[in-house]
Amino acid sequence: MVKKWLQKLKFPDEEKGLSIERRAVLSNRLILLILALSFIYYLIDQAINSHVTHFIFISIALICVIALVVNGLGYYKQAKIIGLLLFNFVLYNLTASQEFATGVHLHQITVAFVAMILFGYEERKWGLGFTFLTIILMVTAFITRTSLIRFMTFTEYQTSVLFLVNLSVFAAINIYITFMILNLNYRVENALMIRNKELEKSNVELDRFVYSASHDLRAPLNSISGLLNLQRLEPHSMDYTDMIQSRVTIMDKFIRDIIDYSRNSRTAVVKESVRLRGVIDEIVDVLKISQLNHPVAFQVDVEHSFSIITDLPRLRVVLNNLISNAMKYTDVSKNDSYIQVKAWHESGQTIVEVADNGIGIDAALQPKIFDMFFRATTVSTGSGLGLYIVRESLEKVKGTISFQSEIGKGTRFRVVLPDEF
């Protein structure tokens, strides 16, 4: 019933943007603070025997509960409007029923200040409207002294205590509000700085990507065009089909790397339970087919029941790149070439290792192997995107990668994935 009524009041221009969400958090904190202060006021009232009517404390508590419920349902603007209207009503009656010396009117100034903060610049008309309303009510309360509450008189001692309490609470609330605003702004500024750094990184990588991608896509096309011209000029000299096919394969791999890069950048992370052995076996089965002249032994030391909660497409990209790289850079001078894949759980993490006894990576080149379009060897025909995509994919699932490599002895990559992320 309440939700239907609130739906009718919903404002068509209300959007749940970052600033609105922040002010919703601020609203909840202020409501809880007012609820706590009303209880403290009640205890002070009992201690000094000022006999403030219980209607005031009950009203404030009800207003807080209503505002919290409405805010919790996601009707942020309605919660602010309802809360400010009711608080203005209660504070007007409270101010009109007491002497100026008690300082209760200070809370109306706080309400006017809060109205501007809660509505912000985007909804400044509402904030200014409530500010003017609060000021008008405060002036009216002093002039007319018309209130639903009977006029209360206090002793000099009670008046002094109430003034000190009201002044202290007024100062404390305004300091607290200022601190919360500074804290929220600090967090938002940090988030924006991180976002700006990500954008700067993306822009640099985009420039490099466009330049390198255009070059690497043109190279196999130019090669295919040249081979076709030779075929036409010398139709009976030799068959260029295999050479053309190899260029097409290179181009296809490069395009698939670009697709993987795009998917990782734009696709949201989807968590699911994955049986790791099944993913590894799929990759190994495909790679075994491509073994041509030099045999490679695959050693998979992973239980069939071994599972992990992660993003399956990204995990598949990571493992496919690592295992296919190990195969691509096999040392053909060795008769016992192998690729070993192991996995185990350790301290709330999953460790996956892909090791080989291939050609290895030169120590001077190792710091750059995760850079975009970097090729660690002159024999590489890849895009130079593989390990870059591996690192970027792991960042999305809060994972890390490290490696050890030595020329002529091989390479060992270690992937660390959190069990929860």
Residues 105 and 96: beta-carbon distance below 8 Å: no
Cα–Cα distance, 193 to 200 (Å, whole number): 10
Among residues of the chain, what percentage have pLDDT more than 90?
A: 21
Say which residue, 154 or 340, is predicted with more confidence. Answer: 340
* Residues 56, 78, 18, 126, Cα dihedral to 10°: -90
- Strand partners for 333: none
Q: Say if residue 139's pLDDT is above 80.
A: yes
HSE on the CB side for 403, CA within 13 Å?
Answer: 24
Q: Encode pLDDT of 6-38 as tens digits.
A: 444 343 333 344 456 666 776 777 777 777 777
Residues 217 and 383: beta-carbon distance below 8 Å: no
Q: Which amino acid makes up residue 263? A: R
Nearest-5° angle of CA 81, CA 82, CA 83?
Answer: 95
Q: What is the DSSP letter of 412?
A: E
Question: Measured in Å, how far apart are the chain's first and last C-alpha atoms?
Answer: 39
Q: Encode pLDDT of 262-283 as tens digits.
A: 666 777 888 899 999 999 998 8
Residue with tokens 């390479």: 411
What is the residue-averaged pLDDT of the chain? 79
Statement: 270-421 belongs to CATH 3.30.565.10 = yes
Nearest Cα to Cα of residue 308 among 360, 269, 271, 260:
271
Q: Say if residue 218's pLDDT is above 70.
A: no
Q: Encode pLDDT of 45-89 as tens digits.
A: 777 665 666 777 777 788 878 888 887 787 888 888 887 888 888
Q: Say if residue 252's pLDDT is above 50.
A: yes
Residue with tokens 């403290």: 40
Element (H, E) at 208: helix 156-233
Residues 37 and 30: beta-carbon distance below 8 Å: no
Q: Say if residue 40's pLDDT is above 70.
A: yes
Q: Could you tell me the two tokens for 321?
A: 């790149």
Domain ranges of the chain: 2-193, 270-421
pLDDT band at 340 (very low <50, low <70, confident <90, very high): very high
Q: Encode pLDDT of 293-324 as tens digits.
A: 678 899 999 999 999 999 898 898 899 889 98
